[in-house]
Amino acid sequence: MDSTPQVTSFQHRAEVDFLRQVMSTMKMSSSKVAMAQFTPWSRVEWSLSNATYPESRVQEAPYCPCELENCPSTSINSLTRSTMSSANRKGVPDVILVISNSYQPLVEVLPNEPLISPSSPLHVFYIVIGSNMHVSRFEPSAHTVGIKVTDFEHLPHLVGPLCQSVNGYIKGTSTTRFGPLCWIIIGVILLFALILVALLLYAIYNYNEENRRLRHRISESERLLRKQNEYFTSQLHSEMQKQIANGEKHAEEMKKQQDMMQSQFDRQLDMAYQQGSKIQILPPFIQPPPPHHEHHSGKERNGVILDPEILKFQVKEAIEETPVLNPQEAQEK
């Protein structure tokens, strides 16, 4: 807490009230609290080892600025070492709250001063009152948060945000809000993700369409091949039926012709016997079939080919040469 000559007693009382409100809001009954002032020299009010009833004891913090011309200075590093030298728990994070004016600020570390080695995670909240001042990071800390306030009267407005930030760092839930840059980065990432998803969907759609067209072409080709096969099969069957019908018709005609010739021959023989003539039928002349001739004009009977014209001539000649006998001579004979 700032107790330098640049701070009045009323401003010092505003600091005390601010610390009391912070302790009351955060309900620090089970926490260990240490308090120190810089005048600008270090003044430790109490350390972690004797931190009992911190809310009531913080109101007793006196306003004691250094009135010497050359007052020695202290630093955050020195105050932290002196207040947290004992009773510091390793498993519990530590929070340092610094309130300083901008005319004579509390420095992080003095020249040639060795840095402390914190036993547990350390978070520093540095409140600067007055003009703009750059707050550098305290090296031993895990986080250093700089808060700038224009006047001591505005300190009560920091109670709520400060308590939320401290709880966020200690409990692991940060309440830091996203800035415009974060939202822009998130928007760009989402846009890029949407573009990738759209490209993926387009690729899947093209793949499905190409697959569908290929299946359609294959089915059309199969249908055309099946149709052509059926057409040629039907043509082949019809040609075979025609050939079979022609063969049967030709065989029927040949059979009819042979039957007709056989009937004519039998009729001539019957007529000759009815006239009472004895006809000596000569063996027919066997005519060799012409080469490469499949059908015969005569009739095949008992392995002998009979030519109807030759047979008719022989029968006629035999009838003419046979003498005609009267009935009496025929009876005597």
Summarised one tens digit per residue, pLDDT across range 251-265 is: 999 999 998 998 888
pLDDT band at 327 (very low <50, low <70, confident <90, very high): very low
- Any bridge partners for residue 37, and if so which? 43
The vertex-202 CA angle with 199 and 203, nearest 5°, equals 85
Core vs surface per residue 3-27: b (16+ CB within 10 A) or e: bbebbeeebbebbbbbbbbbbeebe
Cβ-based neighbours of 151, under 8 Å, separated by 6 or more: 129
Residue count of the chain: 333
Amino acid at 267: R
The phi-psi region of residue 27 (left if phi > 0; otherwise alpha if psi is between -120 and 50; otherwise beta) is left
35 exposure class (CB count in 10 Å sphere: 0-12, 13-18, 19+): buried
Collapsing DSSP to helix, strand or coil, 306 comes out as strand
Residue 285 or 44, more confident: 44
**Domain spans, the chain:** 9-177, 191-232, 276-332
DSSP state of 5: T
pLDDT of residue 319: 52
Collapsing DSSP to helix, strand or coil, 42 comes out as strand
Mean pLDDT of 244-257: 90
pLDDT of residue 210: 93
> How confident is the model over 265-321, as pLDDT tens digits?
888 888 888 875 544 444 444 445 555 444 444 444 444 444 555 555 555 555 555
Q: Which two tokens mark 94?
A: 């530590």
Most confidently modeled range among 22-31, 52-61, 85-94, 178-187: 178-187
pLDDT band at 192 (very low <50, low <70, confident <90, very high): very high
Q: Do residues 176 and 168 make contact, with C-beta atoms less than 8 angstroms apart?
A: yes
Give the whole-angstrom CA distance, residue 131 versus residue 99.
Answer: 14
Q: Do residues 51 and 20 make contact, with C-beta atoms less than 8 angstroms apart?
A: no
Residue 226 or 121, more confident: 226
Amino acid at 63: Y
pLDDT of residue 300: 44
The helix or strand, by DSSP H or E, that contains position 144, with its residue range, turns out to be strand 143-149
Mean pLDDT of 77-94: 73
82 exposure class (CB count in 10 Å sphere: 0-12, 13-18, 19+): middle
- Cα 233 to chain centroid distance, Å, stands at 48
40 exposure class (CB count in 10 Å sphere: 0-12, 13-18, 19+): buried
Give the whole-angstrom CA distance, residue 269 versus residue 275.
Answer: 10
Cβ-based neighbours of 284, under 8 Å, separated by 6 or more: 304, 305, 306, 307, 310, 311, 314
pLDDT of residue 297: 43
Q: Which two tokens mark 306?
A: 């009979």
pTM (predicted TM-score): 0.47
Q: Where are the alpha helices (DSSP H) in the chain?
A: 9-26, 54-58, 76-83, 159-171, 180-274, 308-321, 327-332
CATH of 9-177, one of 3.30.450.40, 1.10.10.10, 3.40.50.410, 3.20.20.70: 3.40.50.410
